[in-house]
């Protein structure tokens, strides 16, 4: 990657922001100057990046002067500040849901639709974490056999709801084991030793916003408005890495062996599928990795052209930070910034 770039990370003190900084460093992204931005209450904090100690600045419009690439870690602040960053000449890679379904804004997963990056008009949206994890293995199967319908149930780690959610799970676990009373703050119910079939707000159709994201975002990323996706999203008492149980119906029949071969050649996918030897994806093993792990690939014996499989990926990395940095790498490699 030629040249070095002035880069800003907004939300640098949060879980996703911290992961973006880590991924930028690990992947040796060509940074000339890095600005770490956050809310006013974090101003003045110190953050280490490479061999530097950086001071957190308040995320204000003037902080983007001269910035070429701005990563937004997510949250309501994107609505106000992304246009301000673009106005000052930056390309914004946004992890919030604000711009994802805007027709003019590319919604990009580099293993799936990298060419869409070229269509940006200053903003590129990072998809929802559960969507990214789903479409990476769907794309190569869709290219070969055309997927008509997907039924997916997600098992989403608490870190998807931020640092406070991690602390809540850890604290509640201690409280339950000590026989103490639990008072939920981040989640509507106790999450320790429990599952909550509720992520984000509910729509009038009975689905949650998180479930509808899986449908609407996947259609945009895969460039297929016909694909049918029915989702159930569940919060589970796991700290890191989301899991998804997936059933696909295809136009052309795929055997489990064919699916394994296709997925084993797919970018960003690791097939871990040897149930006889208890080899299958798990959050514990996928954490801190950038790939989507796929296993439990088997024929759906209730349908002649359907498969079941199980996928796991680190939603803070591939589901957020790594995907955003990969988008920036495409911008740099193709001279689009």
Look up residue 269 and give its two tokens: 């996918």
Helix residue ranges per DSSP H, 146-194? 163-177
Look up residue 252 and give its two tokens: 């052309």
* The one catalytic residue among 120, 142, 223, 242: 242
The residue whose two tokens read 């000052």 is 88
Torsion 196-202-204-210 (CA) sign: negative
Asked if residue 165 lies in contact with residue 235, where contact means CB atoms within 8 angstroms, the answer is: no
Residue 317 DSSP symbol: I
* The one catalytic residue among 120, 129, 223, 289: 129
- R_g over Cα of the chain: 20
Known active-site residue 129? yes
Known active-site residue 289? no
Look up residue 307 and give its two tokens: 């498969």
Torsion 134-222-113-127 (CA) sign: negative
Residue 78 DSSP symbol: H
Rounded Cα distance between 172 and 161, Å, is 16
Longest CA–CA separation in the chain, Å: 61
Q: Tell me which H or E stretch contains 233.
A: strand 228-235
Look up residue 227 and give its two tokens: 């694909």
Rounded Cα distance between 137 and 135, Å, is 6
Rounded Cα distance between 230 and 300, Å, is 17
Which residues carry out catalysis?
129, 242
């Amino acid at each position: 990657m030629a040249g070095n770039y002035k880069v800003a990370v907004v939300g640098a003190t949060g879980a996703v922001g911290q992961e973006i900084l880590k991924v930028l460093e690990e992947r040796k992204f060509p940074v000339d100057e890095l600005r770490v931005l956050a809310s006013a209450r974090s101003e003045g904090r110190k953050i280490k990046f490479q061999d530097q100690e950086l001071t957190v600045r308040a995320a204000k419009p003037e902080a983007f002067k001269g910035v070429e690439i701005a990563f937004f870690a997510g949250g309501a602040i994107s609505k106000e500040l992304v246009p301000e960053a673009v106005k000052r000449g930056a390309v914004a890679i946004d992890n919030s849901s604000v711009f994802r379904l805007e027709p003019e804004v590319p919604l990009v997963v580099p293993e799936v639709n990298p060419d869409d990056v070229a269509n940006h008009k200053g903003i590129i949206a990072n998809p929802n974490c559960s969507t990214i994890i789903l479409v990476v293995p769907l794309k190569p199967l869709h290219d070969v056999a055309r997927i008509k319908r997907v039924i997916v149930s997600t098992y989403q780690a608490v870190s998807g709801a931020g640092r406070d959610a991690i602390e809540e799970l850890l604290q509640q676990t201690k409280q339950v084991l000590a026989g103490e009373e639990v008072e939920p703050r981040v989640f509507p119910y106790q999450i320790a030793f429990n599952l909550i079939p509720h992520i984000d707000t509910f729509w009038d159709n009975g689905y949650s916003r998180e479930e509808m994201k899986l449908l609407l975002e996947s259609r945009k990323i895969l460039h297929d408005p016909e694909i049918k996706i029915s989702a159930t999203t569940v919060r589970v008492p796991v700290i890191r890495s989301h899991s998804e149980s997936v059933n696909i119906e295809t136009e052309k029949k795929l055997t489990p062996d064919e699916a394994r071969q296709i997925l084993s050649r797919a970018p960003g996918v690791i097939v871990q599928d040897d149930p006889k030897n208890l080899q299958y994806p798990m959050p514990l093993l996928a954490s801190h990795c950038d790939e989507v792990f796929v296993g439990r690939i088997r024929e759906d014996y209730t349908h002649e052209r359907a498969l079941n499989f199980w996928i796991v990926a680190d939603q803070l990395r591939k589901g957020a930070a790594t995907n955003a940095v990969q988008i920036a790498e495409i911008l740099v490699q193709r001279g689009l910034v």
